[in-house]
Amino acid sequence: MKNSLACHDGELNKLANVEAEPLKGFTHIPPSMEEQRGKSEVKAVSRRAEEIRNQIVPEREPEPTARWGSGDLASAGLEELFGCLIGRQPRAEQDQALELLGRRRLARLARSTPMELAGHFGLTGRDSRRLAAAFELGRRAISEEVEPAPACSSAEQVFRLVHPELSGLERERFLVLLLDGKHRLARMEPISEGTLTTSLVHPREVFRSAVRESAAALIAVHNHPSGDPEPSSEDLEVTRRLRRAGRLLGIPLLDHVVVGAGRFVSLRERLW
């Protein structure tokens, strides 16, 4: 029994030695040039992907507009408003843009051309034009606020205001002038086009925009393509209905002006 165990132990020792020794008759084959080139390309792609991930703002960050509801842009910082206009940019270019916003006055940047904005912020031509357009919209909004709204306190003022809009038309067009508390024009709203009838000009359509815009009062205007501003029976009936609706809603109808060829008629003088 002892001899048998000794024999087995000797065989196990030989097997251990065989596993430890390299296999005879086989040689190590180095990888081919194609395999080495493939591994190098994979490593290069991986390094480039890592560089891009480090440069670009992570996608998991929410868009600036997603964090704000309606009317909350006033609380946003310049960099957030900038991001709303041109979207995500490479981190280096974003840092450059924020530094520029901090060093220069916004009013001066607003006067830059699209080409200058592209150079300042490293933007594409499309993004620089978008930013320049936003600045231009801001300038126009400011200019409208500076210019006083036209007054509509008399039929003659209304005629001068709407005559360019209604002159030369071949069909009747009905407009309402929405006024503020000082009877200045807030907005001109088209209501209908065609022969004036009580069904075509319903108080609901006329006063819908007045209620929406919180108008203090309104003036109705329409033209006579024939050039004769003398009101028809339909004109008078429509005016009476609008006056009644205005009294109920608390938005008075101040006048209904009929425009002809260089002439006008104020129905306030006929019905009030």
CATH number at residue 230: 3.40.140.10
Residue 43 placed within a domain: no
Whether residue 115 is found in the same domain as residue 94 = yes
Phi–psi pair at 217, nearest 5 degrees: -165, 175
For residue 105, pLDDT over 50 is answered with yes
The whole-number average pLDDT for the span 171-176 is 93
Q: Does 187 share its domain with 114?
A: no
Q: For 198-211, what is each residue's pLDDT tens digit?
A: 557 889 989 998 99
**Roughly how many angstroms between the first and final C-alpha of the chain, as a whole number?**
135
β-strand partners of 219: 177, 255
Q: With a cut of 90, say whether residue 127 has pLDDT above it.
A: no
Name the domain count of the chain: 2
Same domain, 168 and 133: no
> What pLDDT score does 110 carry?
76
pLDDT category at 62 given cuts 50, 70, 90 is: very low
* Phi, psi dihedral angles at 173 (to 5 degrees): -130, 130
Residues 118-123, mean pLDDT to the nearest whole number? 71
Q: Does one domain contain both 159 and 189? A: yes
Average pLDDT, the chain: 76
Are 126 and 221 in a shared domain? no
pLDDT score at 60: 41
Q: Which residues contact 227 (CB under 8 A, 6 or more apart)?
A: 260, 261, 263
Q: Indicate if the pLDDT at residue 263 is higher than 80.
A: yes
On whether the CB atoms of residues 125 and 118 are closer than 8 A, the answer is yes
106 in the same domain as 127: yes
Boundary of a domain, candidates 119, 146, 173? 146
Is the per-residue pLDDT at 87 higher than 70?
A: no
Q: Tell me the pLDDT band of 251, cut-offs 50, 70 and 90.
A: very high
Among 34-38, 59-63, 156-160, 258-262, name the one with the lowest average pLDDT.
Answer: 59-63
Residue 55 lies in a domain: no
Give the angle 43-45-50 at the CA atoms, nearest 5°.
95
pLDDT: which is higher, 86 or 272:
272
Q: CATH no. for residue 107?
A: 1.10.150
Q: Answer with the residue of higher pLDDT: 182 or 121.
A: 182
Please compute the mean of the pLDDT values over residues 22-45 and round it to a whole number.
60
CB atoms within 10 A of CB 68: 15
**Which domain does 134 fall in, by range?**
78-146
Is the pLDDT assigned to residue 99 strictly greater than 90? no
Q: Which long-range contacts (CB under 8 A, 24 or more apart) does 195-200 make?
A: 195/171, 196/172, 196/222, 196/232, 196/234, 196/235, 196/238, 197/234, 197/238, 198/234, 198/237, 198/238, 198/241, 200/174
Which is more confident, 122 or 176? 176
What pLDDT is attached to residue 268? 95
Residue 24 lies in a domain: no
Higher pLDDT, 20 or 92: 92
Q: Which residue has the higher pLDDT, 95 or 12?
A: 95
Q: Is the pLDDT of residue 57 over 50?
A: no
Same domain, 217 and 238: yes
Highest averaged pLDDT of the listed ranges 33-42, 51-60, 225-234: 225-234
